[in-house]
Amino acid sequence: MGLPLTCFFIVFSYLFIFSAAAELAPALFVFGDSLVDVGNNNHLKLSLVKADFPHNGVDFPWKKPTGRFCNGKNAADFLVTGFYAEKLGFPSAPPYLSLISKPNHTNASFVAGVSFASGGAGIFDGTDGILKQALTLKKQVRYYAAVQEALVQELGSAGAQEHLSKSIFAFVIGSNDILGYHGSDSKTRNRTTPQQFVDSMAATLKEELKWVIIGTFLKTIYNLGARKFAMVGVGAVGCCPSQRKKKSTEECNEEANYLSVKYNEQLKSLLQKLKTELKGMSYSYFDTYNVLLNLIQKPDSYGFKEVKAACCGLGDLNADFPCLPIATYCSNRKDHVFWDLYHPTEAAASVLVQNLVDGTEEYTFPMNVRQLAAAAA
């Protein structure tokens, strides 16, 4: 009698946790760049921006490269884990291109969400002009429209609407635009002032967000369904190893950081405005910039020791070349904030997402992502 009763309680507890998790946020849809790419670029044959080779993935559960620009899990993985993924054995939101590239892709289900993020992507089309072939934000949103259509077929119009209205739509994008503008050979830099550039970034993002919400190409706002947005501000890009190495002092590049600050100000204003324009929209804005600065300026408080050099790479600060198979990588990866010349380590990504999901109003406002997920749709 004791064993069956024990099994009953285990099953009951599992179902209770599953139900609570599903009610909190039934799906996660991720849009963005290499900070949250979980393998889409693996399926772009011509792309030069890939992480499907060593030493990427050295700390991932199966110790192999997955397409993540990281030694292990990236921010997208921890965002899912922040709700329920590892506790219930769910995978991260899978890369969209991996699902549609399968022979039986017409049977693919997107009910639990999907990731459209692509290394090299930016808010502007052409951000990957030098790096070649990424899924632009515009293309990512078009793919989402196709996913929404599939969900309507699977769940019915009303079912899809209810499902999507409770889901989280995460945007992690903008760093490549700023790094591209700040590049010494940038044509855009010669044509526009920094303020004009960030104004244009915000305006472009507004149009893309409206496309997601209103669905001008395929569906109306209520049929397309996006309501809850987790908007991640651009970090202190001037402090990544690729920018520090340009300074003889190895200090942060404040010109690049200035662009991040100004863009984030525009993004916050945009979100406040959109909330008044778009009925039912709610959002969480995450101040990546200042949380990352905390890791860099007070590393001991977070368990870090190395804040300037990349763990994996070649040359000064391991930032002259990316983390290629011929590069060396550090043994103390949990001590490093940066994995390569641009991307955080798994340890740093974990700290950032902890603040995104459960952070205080100092860094997440008007609410954190857990509160966003729990808010009435």
Tell me if residue 340 is catalytic.
Answer: yes
Q: Strand order in 228-232's β-sheet? A: 113-115, 28-32, 168-172, 228-232, 282-286, 364-365
Q: Which of 163, 182, 336, 343 is catalytic?
A: 343
Please tell me which residue in 33, 175, 340, 350 is annotated as part of the active site. 340
Q: How many CB atoms lie within 10 A of CB 138?
A: 16
Task: Say which of 34, 47, 115, 260 is annotated catalytic.
Answer: 34
Question: Do residues 365 and 285 make contact, with C-beta atoms less than 8 angstroms apart?
Answer: yes
Helices 254-277, 175-182: inter-axial angle, 10-degree rounding: 140
DSSP per position, 289-300: HHHHHHHHHSGG
For residue 241, is the peptide bond before it cis, meaning its omega torsion is within 30 degrees of 0?
Answer: no
CA 143 from chain centre, in angstroms, equals: 16
The phi and psi torsions of 272 (rounded to 5 degrees) equal -65, -40
Is position 343 annotated as part of the catalytic site?
Answer: yes
Q: Residue 292: what residue type? A: L
Spell out a b/e string for 336-366, using b for 16 or more CB atoms within 10 Å of the CB, else e. bbbbbbbbbbbbbbbbbbebbbebeeebbbe
CA distances, 72 to each of 54, 78, 176, 229, 330 (Å): 11, 11, 22, 26, 14
Half-sphere exposure of 65 (CA within 13 A, CB side): 15
Q: Is 182 within 8 Å of 189 (Cβ atoms)? A: yes
The number of CA neighbours under 13 Å toward the Cβ of 208 is 27
Residues labelled as active-site residues:
34, 340, 343
